[in-house]
Structure 1
Amino acid sequence: MTKTWFDSVVKDVAPIMKEIKTHPFITELSDGTLDPKNFHFYMHQDSYYLYSYGKVLASIATRLKEPDYSLNFMSFSTGTIEVEKALHKDFIADFPDLDPPEKSPTCALYTGFLTEVFEYDSIEVSLAAVLPCFWIYKEVGDYLLKTTTRSNHPYQKWIDTYGGEDFATSVERAIEITEVYAQNSTEEIRKQMTKVFLKTAQLEWMFWDSAYRREQWPI
């Protein structure tokens, strides 16, 4: 299938993707020098996020008309839960002396945004809203696999999870399903899809940045 909409939106989001790859959280994650306290904060925020993200994916599955697509998204949802359990249990257990942080403002904003889009927008727009998390994590995982040269890397398991072939298969399928809906929608809907994709990509950058700063509520 020609990925007309997706190829176009990837070009639009290229500047954001560049900012993500050059953010200190990612560059320090690559060379293994990222402060463990920052990673601990990130893992907890990601746990909060994935809980909500998995619920949105499952909800999307109930609105997809095609049985295969619905099964795919239910699988994505359960897969998200499994990743959350495995990775977060391993890495969070490495920091028994650190208290779990509360849900950060950025994490609350991101999960609230996804829920709001699902509640009030079309299924096409909902698909576009959840797609950046798939695609950006795959891009970052692949990038880290290429740039990381350190042996005994403290975060190698995390890198392998998102740079692996199993995840690549899920990402490609999510892209294909979203593209089908984009091609069978109106130009106005596709514009809305692009807009929400860019917003979610911005939230992905904000998520990394908030973890690097160990973001706190201001008052």
Structure 2
Amino acid sequence: MTLFTDELKVMTAKSWEKSMTHPFVVELAEGTLPEEAFKRYLVQDMYYLNHYSKIHALAAVQAEETAVTHMLLKQAQETIAAEMLMHTEHARLLGMSTTIQTDIRPLPTAYGYTSHLYRVAMAGSLGQTIAGLLPCYWLYADIGSYYRDSKPVNPLYASWLENYGSELFQKETQVQIDLLNRLAELSSEAEKEKMRDAFKRAKEYELAFWEMAYAGEQWPSEK
């Protein structure tokens, strides 16, 4: 039997391939990514992760099972907190401001992505919310696994890959995959279609996030 998440992966195959082979990712793994691009990514991902943890909290409220509520809160408190700690350390090593987290002004893609997740969480179901959250986990886990043997000279890029290729992050990702499959089994076709839409849009934003960081992005009035 084909799992719901397998269907989602096939549905977004083109976007997935472009994300895995985007110049931002390839050059990071090679160690040749310009630091300005990484800094831009770092700042916007801090903004994203701050809201990503809040979406987990909203999902925890949506959950009817106490075990699922606890799991989602644990993910927000531990997994995402660890990512934020890593980003903060990277920012320090890059000589960026210690007040960076309070000074962040989101770029259009980061703002749009988090807005999408809030919309799904506030107007949809737990299944839709988890579907929206999953591409971030899954894509980063795939990148960490695929580029595990890469040895970029830049220690920041090496630690980034090590974090997402770690056994812990791979396990946390599988927990989310398993949860979405379980929720899909209990859902109507109409509900699953909404879950597909939430996943697909989030996956497109993941690809756009790389482009935002690599090529640079501005609000229209600032160009």
TM-score over 0.5 for the alignment?
Answer: yes
Q: Hey, what does 1:124 align to over in structure 2?
A: 127
Q: Hey, what does 2:38 align to over in structure 1?
A: 39
Q: Which runs of 5+ in 2 are unaligned?
A: none
Q: How much has 1:154 moved relative to structure 2? A: 3.9
Aligned equivalents of 1:91, 1:24: Cα separation in 2:
20
Q: How much has 1:94 moved relative to structure 2? A: 2.1
Residues 25 and 64 of structure 1, relative CA distance in 2, 3 Å threshold:
same
**In the alignment, residue 129 of structure 1 is paired with which amino acid?**
G
Structure 1 window deviating more from structure 2 (91-100 vs 5-14): it is 91-100
Q: Hey, what does 1:76 align to over in structure 2?
A: 75
Q: Any residues of structure 2 matched to 1:55-204 within 5 Å, and which?
A: 55-96=54-95, 102-146=105-149, 148-151=150-153, 153-204=155-206
Given the two structures, how large is their TM-score scaled by the length of structure 1?
0.93
Aligned equivalents of 1:163, 1:102: Cα separation in 2:
29
Given the two structures, how large is their TM-score scaled by the length of structure 2?
0.91
SS at the partner of 1:155? helix
Aligned equivalents of 1:205, 1:124: Cα separation in 2:
22
Aligned equivalents of 1:67, 1:121: Cα separation in 2:
19
**In the alignment, residue 219 of structure 2 is paired with which amino acid?**
W
Query: Are the counterparts in 1 of residues 151 and 158 from structure 2 also a CA contact under 8 Å?
Result: no
Aligned equivalents of 1:80, 1:211: Cα separation in 2:
23
Residue-pair matches, total: 217
Moved over 6 A (4+): none
Residues 190 and 89 of structure 1, relative CA distance in 2, 3 Å threshold:
same
Structure 1 window deviating more from structure 2 (90-99 vs 13-22): it is 90-99
- Give the root-mean-square deviation of aligned CA atoms: 1.8
Q: Which runs of 5+ in 1 are unaligned?
A: none
